[in-house]
Structure 1
Amino acid sequence: MFDHKKYIPFQPLKLTDRTWPDKQITVAPDWCSVDLRDGNQALINPMDVDKKTRLFLQIVKMGFKEIEVGFPSASQPDFDFVRKLIVENLIPEDVTIQVLTQARESLIKRTYESLEGAKQAIVHVYNSTSTVQREQVFGLDRDGIKAMAITGAKHVRDYAEKYPQTDWSFQYSPESFTGTEMDYAVEVCDAVIAEWKPENGRGVIINLPATVEMSTPNIFADQVEWFCRNLKQRDQVRISLHTHNDRGCGVAAAELAVMAGADRVEGTLLGNGERTGNMDLVTMGMNLYSQGVNPNIDFSNIQEVIDVVEYCTELIVHPRHPWAGDLVYTAFSGSHQDAIRKSIKFHKENNLDKWNVAYLPIDPEDIGRNYEAVVRINSQSGKGGVALVLERDYGIELPKWMHGELSQVVQSAVETTGEEISPANIKSLYEKHFIEVGKEWVLNRYNLQTESGQITAEFALTKDGPTMKGGGTGAVEALCDALSKTYNKSIEVTQFDERSLSTGTTAQALASISVLVDDKPYSAVAVNEDISAAALQAVLTAFSRS
């Protein structure tokens, strides 16, 4: 049943002198959001007027200047929505709405009725030109389909004259452009353009839809470059794109086609649309942003965009959605976490002004994400990630030799639950295993005396209790000597680190220590305003674990 032989390979256009592979996108194309048209057609529960209005306002807020707001001749809700935008003056002065219609007079007439009173608008007319639709759907030859397009173009032009108060622009789409012979696509578009006469100042857009994505993106780019070269009045029209995502390459196809000469891109926020969806405006816009190109669209509050789109479409945005998903800036892998930690630290220490952080193609804060989501801990996480969480969320910077020990404690906990662990619980485990100590092991007072480079010391763990005495070259060594004599155990310090947690006269010191007690390792941390007291308490806490 699974038989690949019934499918015909797409035949590419022969373009041996293509130029687009050497191009680079340095300026954002014109954008047109079609969320309020294609997205509505593809929803289980179509948007009502209120939801359409909310989504329209969000699109405007992001900075889109051309917005396709519906198919007013196709349904009463779409008609009512267009009227609401105009009557309630919801369209900003610098925004142009666009409406879609088939190339039939009755539908074109109804379309213009919906737009009465608009300051400026684009009327978007289309008919399918592909071989399969000519033969199997319409039963017309090339001339018959071209005549349909020309008739539709004339009706669009003539009805516009009945509403002279509006600044009209016209758009034509040879639907299923990718399945149309290129010479014929140019022939039809040339005929439509001739009816609209852009040379007289009329705004004209030719939109090239990959209504069904039929080939690899490079072949689509070849088609667009060939079309642009051969269109008679190319310099007097804008070339627009409307790619779909059947092969998962809608964004790539649009990017390469812009390199091939297109001026404008239609798409939807987060890629909703028929079948596998439309070109994703967020993804393509953020792709440009990540390359230092201003997309001219504001994505700085991506969560707000997601919230509005999910509410209006009743579709959930995947957590791995490019740029926007909840988890796309989150690292669970230990090696990734360690690299991110080191890379961010390198940026801070070297005061770099250009972003170039391992595993993070952009700064998550640019689109409203916080660093708390960048590193999250589960059983796959490593020592670097656990250390980064403590440092990031609580300002606790542990020495590198402690990262492994803390990570083992955390990993043991998450392997038991099988779930992700929160930063608060990581801190709790850190305090329980390395800081907390019974009151009988809390240093009450100590006295140091130095003579000839040697220290003799007395240590008391209770206010009125007995003291321990020891000696050495420093306070820590003296305490170890006192503990060894008192408890008849061997003690050896293997690691020691001191660092300040803050600045100023009341700054606290953090002392970290690892000792061998009868050849078994124990580690502890202590915090105190007195640096010596912090070190001594760390020794006592570590020893108490034995």
Structure 2
Amino acid sequence: MMLDNPATKYRPFVAVDLPDRQWPSRRIETPPQWCAVDLRDGNQALIDPMDQERKQRLFDLLVKIGFKQIEVGFPSASQTDFDFVRSLIEEDKVPDDVRIQVLTQARPHLIDRTFEALKGAKNAIVHVYNATDPVFRRVVFNVDKPECIQIAVDATTLIREHMTAAPETHWTFQYSPELFSTTEMDFAVEIVDAVEAAFGATAESPMIVNLPATVECATPNNYADQVEWFCRHIRHRDHLIVSVHPHNDRGTGVAAAELAVMGGADRVEGCLFGNGERTGNVDLVTLAMNLYTQGVHPGLDFSNITPIMREVEYCNQLPVHPRHPYVGDLVFTAFSGSHQDAIKKGMAARREAENDFWEVPYLPIDPLDVGRSYEAVIRVNSQSGKGGISYLLEQEHGIELPRRLSIEFSQVVQEVADRLGKEITSQMIYQAFVDEYLDQHEPFALISHRMSSEPDSPTVSLEATIEEYGKRRTIQGQGNGPLAAFIKALAAEGHDVEIIDYHEHSRGQGADAEAIAYVEVRVGGEAVFGVGTDESITSASIKGVMSAINRKLSTEAPAPNVTADTLA
């Protein structure tokens, strides 16, 4: 049960005293170094850890994306990890420009086993850690500060000896003061200074110091303060590659990583889509794509993001949420009517824009940049409006509804959506459009027509054969165009039909192209829309008028002996 006063049980985080902090005014203009830890930190968090086949598939995927540093396991703690590291090395599966990273605790026998696993590697990072947080020192390991430092220094010395004994490998050393974010800042600096001195790092051959937020315990600005404070106070900043490893316990891991880079970090460790213990590691995909939206290429390739997601889901045997930033199945989808209308207008404006800058409402990036199409940008349910419906008809069926017709037809789709109570697919919308407008062939239908005109005369003569209530008849009229002539022919038969508005365009390309005409007419004093399609624009226009007449008649209850004079 939640406490009425949680302050009696939980202490507030004590912020770093950094009144002249610089990070808030900085921008990230170049990507950090990336290290993917999916195969180790991510793997240990899985319900069913990866087998060799899944590990290899995920490693190959990380290489393909462009990661140059990949933590591949904890070989001293797991035979599966040991065997996987050996297979990568012995079967020459690591590209020359990729460094594999392995983790070990600061214990001599585990360090020895780690180097046994790495024998023959071309490029390797040995990552050693020990806990520096006061609770861990006191409760878990029962060591004081000097003893904690000695553990780290002894491990570093042994690692350096192993590296010296294997000069055929290009070695990089990495040290993590585990639980950095809850360690006293002056002690974090003290222990890293001691480790750096023991290893003998230089500006030409730096070591990595990783500053993990092992458990996220404060707002992201505090983590940035800690990183900046550390970078200011460490003895030899130029001897270090400062790395961060944020977790997501408070749900702000991405923000913490970004602010930490602004605070001076050079490198970020994390996992694809944020897999990891508890609420996860920081999500490297979101971090990379956030940079991309600011005009900074992250150095990682997510041009075809959906297959990447599916492969990670297979390897982790965990689903990626449909609302996950940049990759989820629904992240580029709008159901809301107002959102759909804004997106539709934004896409139209982009086609007319004089520059290439992406400025489409509600879409932070162009879905095409990550291999998505525009097909799923707008989907329709009972929350949708005319903008989304019009967009789908235009994008997938080549139907460009005039505004007033769009408003009218949206009510048709709304009724279907309310009745079904679920999403309405593009095909369902198109079928509703066909049923409502294009399949209106009774009681009036066009059978054929013939036009003629005199040279240099604006007048067109039209003769049309139509079917009225199952009977064929021929009507004739003249006007300043085919449609006007047809309206005059109807008027000559006593039908009160007046054109209010008219739009037309071609639909399709090449031999499959056809004309589509949208006609708004006034029939018996009431405005009504009709739509017609045909290879001939004249036929399409006439069919559009007859569609409108038939729709008007379908709303009335005709008498059994109804005649053609119904329209009069």
- Displacement of 1:464 in angstroms is 9.9
Return the match for 2:47 from 39, 44, 47: 44
Who is 1:22 aligned against?
Answer: 25
Q: How does 1:212-223 map to 2 (within 5 A)?
A: 212-223=215-226
Who is 1:516 aligned against?
Answer: 522
Return the match for 2:465 from 457, 460, 464: 460
Q: Is 1:34 the equivalent of 2:37?
A: yes
Who is 1:536 aligned against?
Answer: 542
- Displacement of 1:165 in angstroms is 1.6
2:93 alignment partner, SS class: coil
What percent identity do the matched residue pairs reach?
Answer: 51
- Displacement of 1:438 in angstroms is 2.6
* Distance across 2 between alignment mates of 1:176 and 1:461: 84
Distance 1:502 1:102, change over 3 A: closer
Who is 2:396 aligned against?
Answer: 393
1:513 alignment partner, SS class: strand
Q: Is 1:445 the equivalent of 2:452?
A: no
Return the match for 2:363 from 330, 351, 360: 360
- Displacement of 1:353 in angstroms is 1.2
Distance 1:36 1:504, change over 3 A: closer
Q: How does 1:384-423 map to 2 (within 5 A)?
A: 384-423=387-426
AA of the residue aligned to 2:145? R
* 1:445-469 residue CA offsets vs partner (Å, 9 max, x unmatched): 1446689977665421169942124
* Distance across 1 between alignment mates of 2:30 and 2:145: 37
- Displacement of 1:473 in angstroms is 5.5
For the Cα contact (< 8 Å) 1:364–1:370, is it kept in 2?
yes
Q: Is 1:250 the equivalent of 2:257?
A: no
* Distance across 2 between alignment mates of 1:251 and 1:513: 53
* Distance across 1 between alignment mates of 2:510 and 2:326: 41
For the Cα contact (< 8 Å) 1:320–1:328, is it kept in 2?
yes
For the Cα contact (< 8 Å) 1:102–1:108, is it kept in 2?
yes
Q: How does 1:130-529 map to 2 (within 5 A)?
A: 130-199=133-202, 201-438=204-441, 441-447=445-451, 457-461=462-466, 465-470=472-477, 474-484=481-491, 486=493, 490-501=496-507, 508-529=514-535
AA of the residue aligned to 1:532? T
* Distance across 2 between alignment mates of 1:148 and 1:495: 85
Distance 1:204 1:515, change over 3 A: same
- Displacement of 1:220 in angstroms is 0.6
- Displacement of 1:505 in angstroms is 10
- Displacement of 1:532 in angstroms is 2.7
- Displacement of 1:541 in angstroms is 1.7
- Displacement of 1:477 in angstroms is 4.1
- Displacement of 1:517 in angstroms is 2.2
1:461 alignment partner, SS class: strand
Who is 2:11 aligned against?
Answer: 8
For the Cα contact (< 8 Å) 2:106–2:128, is it kept in 1?
yes
Distance 1:416 1:485, change over 3 A: farther
Q: Which moved more, 1:347-356 or 1:45-54?
A: 347-356
AA of the residue aligned to 2:490? L
2:143 alignment partner, SS class: coil
Alignment TM-score, normalising by the size of structure 2: 0.92
Who is 1:109 aligned against?
Answer: 112
* Distance across 1 between alignment mates of 2:453 and 2:304: 61
Distance 1:503 1:321, change over 3 A: closer
Calculate the aligned-residue CA RMSD, in Å. 2.2
- Displacement of 1:210 in angstroms is 0.3
- In the alignment of these two chains, the number of paired residues is 545
For the Cα contact (< 8 Å) 2:335–2:381, is it kept in 1?
yes
For the Cα contact (< 8 Å) 1:176–1:212, is it kept in 2?
yes
Return the match for 2:65 from 62, 79, 102: 62
- Displacement of 1:195 in angstroms is 0.8
* Distance across 2 between alignment mates of 1:498 and 1:137: 77
* 1:324-354 residue CA offsets vs partner (Å, 9 max, x unmatched): 1111111111111111111111111224311
- Displacement of 1:108 in angstroms is 0.4
Q: Which moved more, 1:501-510 or 1:304-313?
A: 501-510
- Displacement of 1:476 in angstroms is 3.2
* Distance across 1 between alignment mates of 2:208 and 2:344: 49
- Displacement of 1:518 in angstroms is 2.3
- Displacement of 1:506 in angstroms is 9.1
AA of the residue aligned to 1:445? H
1:199 alignment partner, SS class: coil
AA of the residue aligned to 1:523? F
Alignment TM-score, normalising by the size of structure 1: 0.95
Gaps of 5+ in 2: 554-568
1:206 alignment partner, SS class: strand
* 1:266-289 residue CA offsets vs partner (Å, 9 max, x unmatched): 000000000000010000000000
For the Cα contact (< 8 Å) 1:443–1:537, is it kept in 2?
no
Distance 1:464 1:129, change over 3 A: closer
2:202 alignment partner, SS class: helix
* Distance across 1 between alignment mates of 2:447 and 2:90: 78
1:509 alignment partner, SS class: strand
Distance 1:316 1:189, change over 3 A: same
* 1:100-123 residue CA offsets vs partner (Å, 9 max, x unmatched): 000000100010000001011010
* 1:45-90 residue CA offsets vs partner (Å, 9 max, x unmatched): 0111111111000000001000000100111101011001001100
- Displacement of 1:539 in angstroms is 0.7
- Displacement of 1:489 in angstroms is 5.1
Q: Which moved more, 1:273-282 or 1:129-138?
A: 129-138
AA of the residue aligned to 2:464? F
* Distance across 2 between alignment mates of 1:455 and 1:231: 90
AA of the residue aligned to 1:47? M
1:371 alignment partner, SS class: coil
